[in-house]
Structure 1
Amino acid sequence: MTDTSAWKSAARGAVALFGLGMIGVLALAVYSVPMLREIPELSALSYPTLVLLASANSMILLVVVVLLGTVTAPRIDLNSHVFAWASGGTPNWSEIRDSFPLAVVLGSGLFVVVAVIDAAFAQFTQFPVNEPTTDTDALRDLFVSVPMRLFYGGITEELLLRWGFMAPLAYVLWWGRNKVGDATETPSATIMWVAIVVSAVAFGVGHLPALASMFELTTPIIVRTIALNALVGIALGWLFWRRSLETAMIAHAMFHVALVAVSSVIIVVA
């Protein structure tokens, strides 16, 4: 395959992943529209304009990270079956089927672990108490967030953090290691774990702005947010490394499925 053909194939794979990630970007934008309408300067804008405004930054970021992952991930054997399919490769769809039970169990289990740890340290974090709402309002708010949780959390965040951050970081570390030592065909386990942990911590840090928009961040809240999300990110990064990007996406989505299911029960029963 010539260099031109290779780049065209990679470009098709990148476009496919970008399209997949845009599902989550649009879900987040739609979820954000009611909040944008509360801003006086934006209240008169049309619904499509608000969706476009809400998705602009995320869309630009998605372009960048998809390109970074496209250049680096295939070179260090980090797999995406969607990318392989769109770029003319040989996707192993059976791997997704075989890994599905693991993704479901791991994603759901991660929610349980995070919930237990969060409850154990609740006395230290002491989140501000919101004004009480009716069960109907709470359920409505929860279910309105479902598309954003599943598509942005499950798909787009995996593209941002795993494909677009973890893969390039692992590639750079591997490239640097090859320059100063004996060259290897793929990154070592140590390099991969460094990339997994760093991207997982970045995943946790990335959740701070949303919290900061709701209330003042304290040190315990910052530590709690980064630590719990990093725990999830490490597991998802391992799935990306050992299985595929799509397996990590399924596990991430299942985390939110478990969250919504348990939250619904708590709202109804409490």
Structure 2
Amino acid sequence: MSTIPSALPMRSPNLKLALLFGIAGVLATLALWPYLLVLMPQQLAALPLPLPAVIATQTARAGLLCWLLAWLGLYLGAPYGLDAPWLRAWIYRRPRDPSRHARWWLAIVLGVLAGLVVTGLLLLGPKEAGDATTATGWAWRGFLASFYGGIVEEVECRLFLVAALVWLLARCNRRVARSWMFVLAIVLAALLFGAGHLSAAFATGVAHAPLPIARIVLLNALVGVMTGSLFWKYGLEHAMLAHFCADLMLHVAAPLAGG
């Protein structure tokens, strides 16, 4: 059956909400740079442009892409209930969809659990050589980097990718989205989300064999399935909160605990 919510007009405006995500993407990308500077210093030093120019261009590019993909995701997904209902109600000063119920505690608990599971499974694998950065240094950089995962990655891989896949599947069914279409879209987007982490893993030398590659894809896909499910049932804000909490476990709690 169709999942089109009655409280949301089919042609509701999305530009202002997408612009908010674009601005948030710029700020989140800026917050990511301290982490990148210690994660891949040699790769950044080898770039032909000066580092300030690299930071400025890549940050602007990320913000623009975040805005564009957010607009497309809202346009394609909102008619099927894939939306950011709390931010939409705030930006456009309209009543929130009464069918949407907040489950912030659930997003926090699932995010923390997913982060702990991923951290635990990573610790079972082969250990990589450390560097001179202290645990505290990794933790505060990881805290800032967690905003990138919670904002930019959720806009790209949930708001846009899941919405686009559901839209495509629904087009094959007289524009009616069924539950299995959402499940399939969430799983496919999660696998692509996991594969998207391979470029950084290759650059830093972490992924160098089939087993580490599969582990990176599947562990990140696990987080993607969790946040995708929250996006479907409760809205993008829940997915963002859960992703942020998962990254806090991985990039803040784990270094402080000696992981």
> Structure 2 unaligned runs (5+)?
1-8
CA apart distance, 1:15: 1.5
1:90 aligns with 2:82: no
Structure with a larger share of its residues in helix: 1
Secondary structure (helix, strand or coil) at the match of 2:46 reads coil
| Deviation of 1:6 (Å) | 8.4
Q: 1:224 to 1:176 in 2, by over 3 A?
A: same
Q: Residue 60 and residue 256 in structure 1: after superposition, are their counterparts in 2 closer, same or farther (change >3 A)?
A: same
Q: Deviations over 1:2-32 (max 9, x none)?
A: xxx9868322222222223332122224544
- In the TM superposition, what is the alpha-carbon distance from 1:117 to its structure 2 partner? 3.2
What's the counterpart of residue 218 of structure 1? 209
Q: Percent identity at matched positions?
A: 27
- How many residues are matched? 245
- Equivalent in 168, 188, 200 of residue 198 of structure 1: 188
Shift of 1:95: 6.1
1:167-214, CA deviations, whole angstroms, 9 ceiling, x for partnerless residues? 111111111122xxxx63xx1110000000000001101100000101
Contact 2:34 2:141 survives alignment (8 Å): no
Aligned to 2:103: 99
Alignment root-mean-square deviation, CA: 2.8
The code of the aligned residue for 1:204 comes to: G
| The structure with more radius of gyration | 1
Normalising by the residue count of structure 2, what TM-score does the alignment of the two structures yield?
0.83
Counterpart amino acid of residue 188 in structure 1: R
- Are 2:234 and 1:243 equivalent residues in the alignment? yes
Matches within 5 A, 1:1-270: 9-29=13-33, 31-32=35-36, 35=41, 38-39=45-46, 41-43=48-50, 47=52, 49-80=53-84, 81-91=86-96, 98-120=102-124, 122=125, 126=126, 129-131=128-130, 133=132, 137-149=134-146, 151-178=147-174, 184=176, 187-215=177-205, 217-259=208-250, 260-266=252-258
Could you say what secondary structure the match of 2:105 adopts? helix
Q: AA paired with 2:49?
A: L
Give TM-score scaled by structure 1 length: 0.80
Which one-letter code corresponds to 1:159 in the other structure?
V
Aligned residue for 2:6? none
Counterpart of 2:256, as a letter, is S
Deviation at 1:217, TM superposition (A): 2.5
Distance in 2 separating the partners of 1:213 and 1:196? 27
Residues 225-266 of structure 1: CA deviation (Å, up to 9, x unaligned):
111111110011000001110011111111122221232022
